[in-house]
Amino acid sequence: MDMNKIIKNILFGIAFFSLTGCFSNLDLHPIDSDIPSTFFKDSAACAKVLVGCYDALSVPGGGLFDGSMNSQFVIWNVTDEMYNAAAGTGPKVYSYTSGYAPNATMYKNLYAAIQRCCQFLHYLPDAKIATETKLVMEGEAQFIRAFCYFNLVQNYGRVPLITEASSDVNNTSAKQVEEADIYDFVIREMEEAESKVFPITKFNFGGRINKSAIRGVLARVCLFNAGFPCYNTERYKDAYKWAKMVIDDPTHSLIPNFAEAFIPLIQDKYDIRENLWEIEAYCKSTSDGLKEYFPSLSTTLGTNCSKAVTNVSFMVNNTMKITKRMFSYYEQDTEALLGSYDERRNWAIAPFTNAPTKLDGAERLVLTYFGSHKDPDNDRLVYDRQINKFNRQYAKIWPAYQSNAGTNLCIVRYSDVLLMAAEALCQIHNGPTPEAIGYVNAVRKRAYGQMDGRKFIDHIELTNPGENYTVGEVCVEIVDATDNTSSVTCTTEEDKSPKAYRVGDVKGPLTIATAKLPEILGSDGKPDTKTTRPIESIVLLDRGHAYSATPKVIIRSLEGGKGPKGSGATAIAVMKDENPSYELSAEATGSKEAFLQTIMDERARELCFEGWRRLDLKRWHNLVEILQATRDDGRNAKGVNGAQLDYIMTPGNNVSDVHYYLPIPSGEIMLNPELKQNEGW
């Protein structure tokens, strides 16, 4: 978490109340131990302690919201989205016990964060600071504490509810409280906090708790309370109420380009239109000397890259890969066979492997695309893909550390709020309503690149074939006229695995187009690859993202190639007159059941790899069913066998009803005789 930024924003908020004081020598490290009452001497000191509450959410390796492999966003979130392509035990294969150490760490650290908040709230009333300042700080601490309890009840069910400050985090006599009562506490605390904190517009900054963040999280809490196991269905009305407050706030809207909802997270920038609350990853700063490097989803859920090369590539090394079920949630382009009209697919799921190597005359990050256009029945070309949503290669932070990056963790996005509102409305009215359908279609409209009038390329028309081109050594560059970023494909149509690279921060999937050269046979009847020739056509393999203006097409010979350089070839991009429809079909909205299934699938498409899928499947009470169906997909897959098939199938083989809850850590039960283990553990 960016302590410097959080503290400065808290102090900025204090300044609104006309408080005076010198903060130039403020120690920017948070207080992270038991808090003496004497520390609450002024507003600056209180700010430090409050940041300690924020900091508790993302302790490196703490299993909470730091993006590490053991966090609930990675190994605890293996469902129909992804599988672990390596041997092992633990939650990634649903094989662990109540003694599993990362589970104990997560449980313990949630209570440690709660205790920090309890201590802060205990001592804050005696602080000699303005009443208005106290109110805002109190609301932030209340929300953090309630958010931790929300995570506890989601994962563990009945847990102790501790609201008083204690010198002992390991309370040995606290009794468990019923889930319904914990939800009531969480909602009550968050509602009170919402009335106290600043609106998000106060700072134009998503790292600090604000009214919009609390409203979005409250919608989620109410949906969970309405689902399994509490089934408090009256909460659907509350979920809609809180979601609608975010929707009606003119500050918030969908960012027109899906990729641009994530590029700011990767680059330590902010866009409060969509990203309502971010838990921050802090990287090296030359200004204050802090050196805190956080694991992030850019590394633990990224596309592997063998090494870091300054200004070329960042290193990524992990074993998570995507499932065919996740891939199949998206519409497949039936003409440009590497692509999808849904821009989310080839942004969230890498259609390539990448590595720094020399290509086209320079060291570049080369993307080698899976050749599914040549071998469409080979499911291995799907199961070999990795996650690309938090693409580290868009980062700007050097030096580059293997396991840590500065990608912030967004807890609630505006698109999530729209889908939550749609789900709540469907439940309230016992079926889809025009308003609910409109919210889902709004998310889909952005996904299909149509929020801001952009269009997809229909085909690329060769206007001059040129001459003297060599097989395998022709580059086709597609240049975005709005920002001069481009996609460069450097292999000809004969290649089964097209190689490409990006120039600049391309805002979406790359457009992949290869030159097709006429076949020439040698005297032996075999293809002659040495004789030069003109271009026959340009084959569009992936339309990439939609464009605001017709992109420029450049055809040239590969720099550093072995053959002669061709010249004279030209082509133009021909845009589609009409983009494909993004609107839901009549079948998708024909009944309550059909529409709820549509929302479940849309949440997978929109929110995949953001950490919520397992918990969504829990509240819908279909976790076991979905994991077993994902296993069966693997069993029926073509071209997948051996160890890889075992990795795909193992989660579905192991999952059972006991996994709707995590076990209370055995060490906690040994310390506290009042605790009762969850059923089956």
3-state helix, strand, coil in the chain (%, to 5): 40, 15, 45
Residue 233: HSE in the Cβ half-sphere, 13 Å Cα cutoff: 7
Residues 463 and 314 in one domain: no
Q: For residue 350, is it within any domain?
A: yes
Answer whether residue 23 shows pLDDT above 50: no
The domain total for the chain is 3
Beta pairing partners, 555: 476
CA angle 176–196–611, rounded 5-degree value: 55
Q: How far apart are CA 349 and CA 326, in angstroms?
A: 9
Beta strands 499-503 and 362-369, pairing class: antiparallel
Q: What is the pLDDT of residue 289?
A: 39
What are the tokens at 234? 């009256």
Q: Which of 547, 575, 603 is the last residue of a domain?
A: 575
Is the pLDDT at 29 greater than 90? The verdict is no
In a domain, 356, yes or no: yes
**Count of C-beta atoms within a 10 Å radius of residue 26:** 16
**Would you state the structure tokens that stand for residue 490, as one six-digit string?**
């450097």
> Do 315 and 462 belong together in one domain?
no
User: Could you tell me if 31 and 133 lie in one domain?
Assistant: yes
pLDDT of 601 above 90: yes
Answer with the one of 407, 424, 439 that is the final residue of a domain: 407
Position 26 scores a pLDDT of: 30
Residue 586 pLDDT grade (very low, low, confident, very high; cuts 50, 70, 90) = very high
Judge if 179 and 42 occupy the same domain. Answer: yes
Structure tokens at 231: 């089934």
Sign of CA dihedral 24, 27, 29, 33: negative
Give the model confidence (pLDDT) of 296-322 as tens digits: 788 889 999 988 888 899 888 889 999
- Give the Cα separation of 186 and 143 in Å (integer): 8
Q: What is the pLDDT of residues 544-576, one digit of tens each?
A: 999 999 999 999 999 999 999 999 999 999 999
Residue 254 within a domain: no
Are the C-beta atoms of 300 and 292 separated by less than 8 Å?
no
Residue 664 lies inside a defined structural domain of this protein = no
Do 493 and 376 share a structural domain? no
Position 235 confidence tier, pLDDT thresholds 50, 70, 90: very high
pLDDT at position 399 is 64
State the pLDDT at residue 36. 64
Distance CA 297, CA 388 (A): 10
Looking at the fold, whether 187 and 53 belong to one and the same domain comes out as: yes
* Identity of the residue numbered 57: L
List the structure tokens of 356. Answer: 């720094």
pLDDT at 102: 94
Whole-prediction pTM: 0.93
> Is residue 160 in some structural domain?
yes
91 shares its domain with 166? yes
Residue 623, in any domain of the structure: no
Where is pLDDT greater, at 490 or 395? 490
Residue 89 is given by DSSP the state -
Quote the domain boundaries for residue 538: 457-575
* 26 and 114 fall within a common domain: yes
Rounded to the nearest integer, the mean pLDDT of the chain is 90
> Which of 245, 276, 385 lies closest to 328 in space, CA to CA?
385
Confidence of residue 288 (pLDDT cuts 50, 70, 90): very low
Instruction: Give pLDDT, residue 118.
Output: 95
**More reliable by pLDDT, 17 or 472:** 472
More confident residue, 326 or 493: 326
- Checking if the pLDDT of 141 tops 60, the result is yes
Could you report the per-residue pLDDT of 520-539, keeping only the tens digit for each? 999 899 999 899 999 999 99
State the pLDDT at residue 267: 87
Least confident segment among 75-84, 86-95, 308-317, 443-452: 308-317
Q: Is residue 510 part of a domain?
A: yes
Which of 383, 407, 431 corresponds to the end of one domain? 407
Please say if the pLDDT value at position 15 is more than 60. Answer: no
| 379 and 466 together in one domain | no
CA distances from 590 to 372, 587, 593, 598 (A): 34, 5, 8, 10
Q: What is the mean pLDDT of residues 479-505?
A: 94
Instruction: Say yes or no to pLDDT of 377 above 60.
Output: yes
The reply to whether 68 and 146 lie within a common domain is yes
pLDDT of 408 higher than 50: yes
SS3 467: strand
Assess whether 368 and 476 both reside in one domain: no
Domain contains 641 = no
Do 59 and 152 reside in the same domain of the chain?
yes
Q: What is the C-alpha to C-alpha distance for residues 596 and 594, in angstroms, rounded to an integer?
A: 6
459: enclosing H helix or E strand: strand 457-467
**pLDDT(21) > 50:** no
Among 436, 425, 451, 442, residue whose Cα is nearest residue 589:
436
Task: Give the model confidence (pLDDT) of 163-221 as tens digits.
Answer: 998 766 555 689 999 999 999 999 999 999 999 999 999 988 899 999 999 999 999 99
Neighbour-count burial for 363-386, b at 16+ CB within 10 Å, e otherwise: ebbbbbbbbbbbeeebbbbbbbbb
- Whether the per-residue pLDDT at 32 is higher than 80: the answer is no
